[in-house]
Structure 1
Amino acid sequence: MNEPLGIILKMLKLVRFARIYGWQRALNKAIARTRPHWLRRRISYRRKATISVIGCGQFAFSSVCFFLRRHCQNGFLSAYDVNRQQAQSLGHYYGFREIAVTVDAVLNHPSLAVLYILSNHASHAAYAIAGLQRNKIVYVEKPIAVTRDQFIELSVAARQSSGQVFAGYNRPYSEAIQVLKPYVITQKTAGSFSLNYVINGHVIPPDHWYRRPDEGTRICGNIGHWIDLTIHLFAWRSLPDWIAVQIAYANPDEPDDNLVITFTTDQHDLVSMLFTSRAEPFEGVREVMHLQYNDLIAHIDDFRQLTVHQGAKRRNWHFTPKDVGHERAVLQPFCADNRAWHEVELSTLLMLFVRDQVLTGQAMSRFDVPAELRRLEADVEHLIASPSTVSF
């Protein structure tokens, strides 16, 4: 691609992003990607700095810190990243009080109250455990763990801490889902869900860090979002006793790309997730969701539009800027009305179950909900009785 054409496409993308997210956030996303050399330290005039960040990449810059600066009274304390340049650019742009040299410097700072963990997936659980062991409020980006052992240790830390933990799964906090919820929970009789998701994901190269064996595959990195949303929707009614999982793989050599995952349950639910990444979406991840529950039919188009049909009635909502729930999810530590943590625990167990199925190339398996929850509690109790240590 020649340089003038490349510049034109970048400008076009910026304009398209501005129409979707608004100019302020679109420009912020552009700065997050380019990290220009002219970024200089801002002076923060906020009264008290209590919020620290571990992991200063694209999402931290363009979303998390963007929303925190907009809504929170308290300021930014410490920024840390294994890539010091990333930490410096984020810290300077948002007016962090310090660029930490070590994780210990972040975790042991006497003014730390709220810790945001936005690092690579395999490190999420260990950082969250360390924060909870210090009784801090911890926001941990998805996935909250990429192995069962990590998840059990995190569950132990959450139960033993006087702090709190929140997960970065954002779709349940989107405006479209919030508008849809009353239509489901006010149904006079319980029904069965028919859910269909079509997700056009990013194309990632073979050497992308998502591909590392210890990072949990794209099941943890991407598809966990829709597994989590499905559990959240089930919880509006009641959770099933079992979930049968069927997976069709387009390419066995890349089993976590271009696949269809189907759930069926004892409550006659039918859920289909098609995840494909054959071409890069120009405007980022694009997703469509179709739901039927009793006489309710709903369609969500890329979290920009919701259409609800119920009998002869039809209603439409348009969401500008596009709202996939990032803003409200990021603000969980400062809000009272948050989703139940047990939903995140169950969705994580199911996500890890699906990941294991993908890694072994299985086509069919069954997830027993009560048995898996009992197993988790037994493992947590065992670890409490014979603790291991995670320290920084």
Structure 2
Amino acid sequence: MAPLWASQPFKGVYILLFSLKTVASLSLLSVFYVFKPFRPVPEWNFKVSIARSVLRAAFRYFTSTRYQHPRQLEAGKSGERFVLITPPDPTLFSAPLASAEITPAPVGAVWHPAPVQQGQGNGQKVIMQFAGGAFVLGWEPNETAKTLSGYFSEHFKTAKVLYVQYRLAAPGTYFPAPIQDALTAYNYVLSLGVNPKDVILCGDSAGGNIVLALLRYLQTSPGKLHLPGGAMVWSPWVHVTPHAGEDYTKSRNSDVDLLYAPLLDWGANAYIPKGDLTPEAQALISPLGHPFKTETPIFVHAGGREAFFDAVHSFSEEMTAVEGNRIKFHESKFTPHDLLLTNAQLSLDTELHEALKDAQTFLESKA
């Protein structure tokens, strides 16, 4: 049930009160954070400490007002970099991606810095990005794609980025809608002539969950599509339950991390279908405790000061224990949740590029 503040006239009142409280709170914190002992993590500088508080306040606002950024489904300012991807043949979707209630739909995506042209994909490396947001929050695709492309270009050189706008969780677009969209987008990239081995799936937070679900589906559905050459998951949300907010609050580091527990409750309960789930669906939704064999090497990142750390590390160990898997776990010691997506605000450039360099070395090395 949506909170009272999600609809007018209460929403207007909430925005006013929220703005006043947030300005006062951040003003006070800006004084406290001048002094190192008062920062959430003593190793953080002033900017990281304030940025963490701003991000947590933003997540509180989005959750209370149930704000969801609309997906871009036409070119607009993206011009030729935008593509509206038509779902492939329905036979590509089998259980648990085949659903009577949730059917494949067109997917909007934005290329950066330029699109791969039809028939010219041979030899072209592509990073497919699925951004996080607890399955319910989306971001402006053009600026986000530009920022991420800038990070990737320093390490993966010629790779082009396809920023995929999967359907956000809401009535009528819960699981498996985002994974259907991921499969639709992956099929599209291959249809351009791109070699699967030249594709890297990349996802952060809930986007990392989607990447893992797509990999599992491709691995367990032989003959549908060839596997990608690599995957990167940053702070993947691997333990998704109806009581996600409580799980988060009880986790180590939740007091200093930047996420907001009610956001996770909103996301999980909007995403998880009602009723009984098959074991296959459960494994796609919440991969912790459900390791799987994959021929695709996976780079797993977690921040040492994020509440998801223990779950992500445990999942990485589970996957490493599966014979034949190639898994690389990288911890950025003092970073909070989702370094890849939040670095634009946190400016932890050294830590991000150390992780990206490690990812590039791992994914380009031979088994």
Structures share fold, TM-score greater than 0.5: no
How high is the TM-score relative to the length of structure 2?
Answer: 0.28
